[in-house]
Amino acid sequence: MAAGEAPQEKPRLAQIFDLVFKGGTIVNQAGEGLADIGVRDGRIAEIGSIGEGMAGETIDASGLHILPGVIDTQVHFREPGLEHKEDLETGSRSAVLGGVTAVFEMPNTRPPTTSAEALAAKVAAATGRMHCDFAFFVGATRDNVDDLAELELQPGAAGVKVFMGSSTGDLLVDGEETLARILATIRRRAAFHSEDETRLRERMSLQREGDPSSHSEWRDPEAALAATMRLLRLATAAGRRVHVLHVSTGAEMQFLATYKDIASVEVTPQHLTLTADEAYAALGTKAQMNPPLRDRYHRELLWWGLERGVVDVLGSDHAPHTLEEKSKIYPATPSGMPGVQTLVPVMLDHVNAGRLSLARFVDLTSAGPQRIFGIAGKGRIAVGYDADLTIVDLKAERVIENRWIGSKCGWTPFAGRRVKGWPVGTLVRGRLAMWQGELGPACGEPVRFGEALPKA
Ligand code: DOR
């Protein structure tokens, strides 16, 4: 080497991988087909045919489908303050047991995630302790509007979340002026819980003691539609994108189909799978959630929106409460049900039943979240992307059972349901967070976003 010349980096042998998945069927932007995947330094390094002896570890994936890591863009993991229901470790354990590689967590904790300190504390508590990658929504309040533009760019922030109707916790912004100020100040796509607070208050008397089915009468489809119409009017005026969480009614779905330039849409597996009458009869208060379960008519229109591409993402709205809390008498019972662990098997069962294609499932659970939230380096099986993979056995038939649930709450509304299609592996940045039901070491890190990349 001549004097003054920079030392050359030792060339790496391109074929050497830390981990290789051999013989699986990959489903990604290129379609569906047999290919090996080579992983190096936590990233996807090769897709194609990889010879023997090229990897530190080789996993035989023949007979299995390898999907881009499933991203659940709506979970409530309850830490800090409500750890008797869930914490970041147990919630993420439930996630990876269910094949989920990253979650976006909601701000209605105690204290709520409404300040830079609260957000940084969550990121610190989650890093290396959560089993999957994570981002946290920042809650909007009347008092923190001026801080939101800065807060939404903090490391680990998924964006701003607004509760337009009251649900679990105290976060609520229902004044039109404040909503308009929020939309004017932020730049990223904010997420909205869309139920009209005034209408909810007016109709409180429709709650019947001991009858959780009255929850769906009280929080009626009109309350959801009114808030969504108001939101889209304000977003249009402000020239902003918005994300409407857990859309539950047919009229909202049809309305949102006319706003695809600015509105992204989430549906939950429970709104797609359960109907109000059957669920209240079988599950009682466990079926109580906000927005509530609806009847068949609405469920069919959610599928209409899913089939026609109006729906962008699936979110589980994992909202665990203890069985003790759920065993109180309605309406003293809290709203919400767990779901992060059952999203994949419940939806793969719909794939096997022919209700959606595997390609559309992938679109909803990785490409969709990447597209609407601008996730950096995740959401595709492509060279250079994080090696986040959800490995599934589409032929496995299992019964979902409460004892399988890793969440602290220990129950699922889908207990007893026979499903076809099961998550067998969860790879998070090249590390096996779960393989055949066994957990690996926790290695969770913040998800990064193109609009808020941390400076090196
Ligand atoms: O049912 C629900 N439960 N809906 C929400 O919006 C909040 C959630 C919770 O945190 O329990």
Q: How far is CA 298 from CA 4, 250, 271, 295, in A?
A: 72, 5, 9, 6
Atom number of ligand 1 nearest to Cα 108: 10
Q: What is the CATH number of the domain that holds 27?
A: 2.30.40.10
Confidence (pLDDT) at 52: 86
Are both 196 and 294 inside the same structural domain? Answer: yes
Catalytic residue at 317?
A: yes
Are both 327 and 408 inside the same structural domain? Answer: no
Domain-embedded: residue 189: yes
Are both 34 and 81 inside the same structural domain? Answer: no
- For residues 251 and 225, the answer to whether their CB atoms sit within 8 Å is yes
Q: What is the CATH number of the domain that holds 92?
A: 3.20.20.140
Residue that the structure tokens 């089915």 belong to = 213
Count Cβ atoms below 10 Å from residue 203 Cβ, excluding itself.
16
Bridge partners, 417 (sequence order): none
Domain-embedded: residue 4: no
**3: pLDDT confidence band, cut at 50, 70 and 90?**
very low
Are both 38 and 180 inside the same structural domain? Answer: no
Name the residue of 75, 77, 105, 108 to mutate for ligand 1: max ligand atoms within 8 A of Cβ: 108
Are both 150 and 50 inside the same structural domain? Answer: no
Bridge partners, 435 (sequence order): 425, 438
Q: Whose CA is nearest to atom 2 of ligand 1?
A: 336
Are both 104 and 190 inside the same structural domain? Answer: yes
Please, what is the Cα angle at 106 between 101 and 110, to 5 degrees? 125
Using the 3D structure, point to which of 373, 400, 426 is the last residue of a domain. 373
Are both 73 and 35 inside the same structural domain? Answer: no
Given a cut of 50, whether residue 372 has pLDDT beyond it is: yes
Q: How far is CA 225 from CA 118, 256, 295, in A?
A: 32, 10, 15
Domain-embedded: residue 86: yes
Q: What is the mean pLDDT of residues 375-401?
A: 98
Are both 175 and 223 inside the same structural domain? Answer: yes
97-126 pLDDT per residue, tens: 999 999 999 999 999 999 999 999 999 999
Domain-embedded: residue 237: yes
Are both 247 and 196 inside the same structural domain? Answer: yes
Distance 104 CA to ligand 1 centre (A): 14
Q: What is the mean pLDDT of residues 274-293?
A: 98
Distance 75 CA to ligand 1 centre (A): 9
Using the 3D structure, point to which of 326, 345, 373 is the last residue of a domain. 373
Q: Is 290 in the pocket of ligand 1 (CB under 6 A)?
A: yes
Percent of the chain scoring above 90 in pLDDT: 93
Q: How far apart are CA 266 and CA 252, in angstroms?
A: 11
Q: How far is CA 292 from CA 238, 248, 271, 275, 401, in A?
A: 29, 8, 8, 10, 23
Q: How far apart are CA 296 and CA 388, in angstroms?
A: 35
Q: What is the mean pLDDT of residues 212-241?
A: 98
- For residues 352 and 344, the answer to whether their CB atoms sit within 8 Å is no
Q: How far apart are CA 439 and CA 410, in angstroms?
A: 17
**173: pLDDT confidence band, cut at 50, 70 and 90?**
confident
How many domains does the chain contain in total?
2
Are both 355 and 425 inside the same structural domain? Answer: no
Are both 242 and 139 inside the same structural domain? Answer: yes
Q: How far is CA 264 from CA 4, 150, 196, 239, 255, in A?
A: 55, 23, 19, 14, 12
pTM listed for this prediction: 0.96
Domain-embedded: residue 379: no
Atom number of ligand 1 nearest to Cα 336: 1
Given a cut of 60, whether residue 11 has pLDDT beyond it is: no
Are both 62 and 75 inside the same structural domain? Answer: no
- For residues 406 and 55, the answer to whether their CB atoms sit within 8 Å is no
Using the 3D structure, point to which of 351, 373, 395 is the last residue of a domain. 373
Range of the domain at 52: 17-66+386-442
Q: How far apart are CA 107 and CA 136, in angstroms?
A: 7
Domain-embedded: residue 449: no
Alpha helices, DSSP H, located in 169-312: 176-185, 197-202, 214-218, 221-238, 250-256, 269-273, 276-283, 296-307
CA atoms within a 13 Å half-sphere pointing along the CA-CB vector of 286: 19
Q: What is the mean pLDDT of residues 242-268?
A: 98
Domain-embedded: residue 12: no
Catalytic one of 72, 133, 196, 317: 317
Domain-embedded: residue 437: yes
Percent of the chain scoring above 70 in pLDDT: 97
Give the pair of three-digit tokens for residue 333: 């019972």
Q: What is the mean pLDDT of residues 274-283?
A: 98
Give the pair of three-digit tokens for residue 9: 């980096």
Q: What is the mean pLDDT of residues 300-320?
A: 98
